[in-house]
Amino acid sequence: MTQNIYSNINGQLILTHETDIKSTDEAVRSHYGLYESILYRRGQLELQDLHWERLWSGLSVLGFQRPAHWNAAFFAAHIEDLVRANQLTDIARVRLQIYSDEVQAPLQPLYYIEAMAIESPTTQWNEIGLKIAVLPDFRKPMMPESNCKISHSRHYPIAKAMMEAQDLDDVLLLNTEGNIIESAIANIFWVKEGVFYTPPLSDGCLAGTMRIWLLQQMKAQQIPHQEQSVDLNALLVADELFCSNSIRFIRWVQ
């Protein structure tokens, strides 16, 4: 069972069952704004610099006016208080969502934070490869907003319904030019003849924190890699295919 006793609503710890603001509510999840899913583990926020960088960038892209006191230390302190209140100091999935009740920029941002229990195997190598398919009824636009982790994207409810109907672990998303750019919840990488590939941000994929970290490691270790557009036919003849995600890390696809 997911342990999520308290939530932080605009700086206040509130019992989750006493508030209507929950990410399990599709109306809340799809509110105009953006969010970050961060792995908390034994006092550390994994890849936090990359998460904060993407969050600040996303606020600007979406037209939010970032308060002067919003910085990494501000949110890290709130997250630490929350995971301790929920007794999740070993490992937790933190979800920070920024939203606004306004409709015209500059938007005044509001926020809520959840800290939820997860199983340690979530961050470990999967023994069984993911079962995936291509989502046919959605085309992600190729624009700066697409690189942000936006909460109002239309793809997730459609993807979730398809995954449940076809017993899938994930689905691949297409952009408006018909290229495959990512999965519903992760970035994608494929390997062909010893070279690692991933779609470029210009194709409309998420600027994933694990994606960035992997590219940094490949560069540092001089592992051959390229950012390249891809269609389904090219993926079908790849030597390997895997998904990257800041909570699940790397998951290989069967």
Ranges of H-type helices in the chain: 26-29, 48-61, 72-85, 155-166, 209-220, 232-236
Residue 9 in this model has a pLDDT that exceeds 90 = yes
pLDDT value for 154: 81
Q: Are 57 and 66 spatial neighbours (Cβ–Cβ below 8 Å)?
A: no
* CB-based contacts of 129, cutoff 8 Å, min separation 6: 252, 253, 254
The tokens for 27 are: 């109306």
* Averaged pLDDT of the chain: 91
Among 1-15, 82-96, 160-174, 212-226, name the one with the lowest average pLDDT: 1-15
Overall average pLDDT of the 34-43 stretch? 94
Kindly report whether the global pTM for this prediction surpasses the value 0.75.
yes
| Beta bridge pairs of residue 140 | 175
Q: Which residues pair with 182 in a beta bridge?
A: 173
Gap between the Cα atoms of 209 and 221, Å rounded: 18
Predicted pLDDT of residue 2 = 47
Q: What is the mean pLDDT of residues 208-219?
A: 97
Q: In this predicted model, what pLDDT tens digit does every residue of 66-99 receive, in sequence order?
A: 999 999 999 999 999 999 999 998 999 999 999 9
Q: What is the pLDDT of residues 170-192, one digit of tens each?
A: 999 999 999 999 999 999 999 99
pLDDT given for residue 126 in this prediction: 81
Tokens of 118: 């997860």
Which one-letter amino acid corresponds to residue 202? S
Q: What percent of the chain clears pLDDT 90, i.e. is strictly above it?
A: 78
